[in-house]
Amino acid sequence: MIHLPTSPTPIVTQNPKKLLIYSNPKGGKTTILAGLKNALIVDFEGGTRYVEAMTVPATDIKTVHELTTLLAKGHNYDYICLDPITRLEDIVLPYARKLYKNTPQGVNFVGDNVLHLPNGGGYLFLRQAFFAVLNAFARVTNHLVITGHVRDKMIEKNGKEVSHAEVDLTGKIRSILCADVDAIAYLDRRGPDGFFRFATSDDVICGARPMHLRNREIRISHLEEDGSVTTYWDEIFIPETEEGRAKALAEQKTRPVATESKNAVVFN
């Protein structure tokens, strides 16, 4: 039975369940993920060979299926990281083909790639396959961290074309994913430091629902003189306590806004 509220609902959580981080390729995303304690990195691209972390390579749909099935049986990781999500579109293509083959119009399809269907008919099945896999990971963790590559797009502003950074994914997949996650951070490198930008500007799309991240720039990493990297994930995932919630609310009231810097399917 539905009960209409008579007072504001208290804050239930203050950390993002789904966090999307994007930057240029080789921008240091995987190295920063390696600093997240008790995190499993699902490596879609092979980038974790150069970092010390808990990783599982998953570069084909069969391995991805085996991994999600295993995780669903139980695990002790606090975070699951998908690195990079841009690669997942290619990985799920065989699954998208299977979905299309299971429809009346696709039963006789003999091609290898549904994206070659006329009039863009295969993109629906790519989206279904993509989000079926993504949701399979989201169901087995309280915190899903997703990385992606950046794509520059030219947009018109005040009669001039300007460069605008966005996540490198197919149109509707990008829009749905960005709407679904709780926070979007652009990784900005300045000298030895890396910053997560959560403040949307004219040149990048960012944002966050959690109040301790909203409209902020947060230093997430520092390259030490010996070549090691120190990360500051405790600024992103803060303790889920009453005191932590009160602190986040108090800081939000005094925090300055960051300025710019130059048809559902079951995966099986």
C-alpha distances out from residue 61 to 31, 36, 122, 148, Å = 25, 26, 18, 18
In this prediction, residues 92-103 reach a mean pLDDT of 95
240, 13 Cβ separation under 8 angstroms: yes
Residue 245 has pLDDT above 60, yes or no: no
Residue 184 has pLDDT above 80, yes or no: yes
pLDDT at 242: 65
Residue 179 has pLDDT above 70, yes or no: yes
Dump pLDDT digits (tens) for 213-244. Answer: 999 999 999 999 998 999 999 999 998 766 55
Kindly report which listed range (71-85, 90-104, 165-179, 185-199) carries the lowest average pLDDT score. 165-179
| Cβ within 8 Å of residue 116, ≥6 positions away | 122
Sign of CA dihedral 100, 129, 209, 197: negative
> What value does the mean pLDDT of the chain take?
84
Which residue carries 């879609």 as its tokens?
44
pLDDT at 160: 46
In this prediction, residues 243-264 reach a mean pLDDT of 44
Residue 78 has pLDDT above 60, yes or no: yes
CB environment 114-148: b (16+ within 10 A), e (fewer): bbebeeeebbbbbbbbbbbbbbbbbebbebbbbbb
Longest CA–CA separation in the chain, Å: 62
Q: Parallel, antiparallel, or unpaired for β 144-157 and 79-83?
A: parallel
pLDDT at 250: 56
Q: With cut-offs at 50, 70 and 90, classify the pLDDT of residue 247.
A: low
pLDDT at 202: 65
In this prediction, residues 172-191 reach a mean pLDDT of 91
- The radius of gyration of the chain from alpha carbons, rounded to an integer in Å, stands at 20
Q: With cut-offs at 50, 70 and 90, classify the pLDDT of residue 143.
A: very high
Q: CATH classification of 18-253 is 3.40.50, yes or no?
A: yes
pLDDT at 204: 74
The Cα–Cα gap between 37 and 235 comes to 13
Percent of the chain with pLDDT over 90: 59
Q: With cut-offs at 50, 70 and 90, classify the pLDDT of residue 153.
A: low
The Cα–Cα gap between 254 and 243 comes to 17
The Cα–Cα gap between 79 and 40 comes to 6
Kindly report which listed range (5-19, 118-132, 141-155) carries the lowest average pLDDT score. 141-155
pLDDT at 8: 87
Residue 268 has pLDDT above 60, yes or no: no
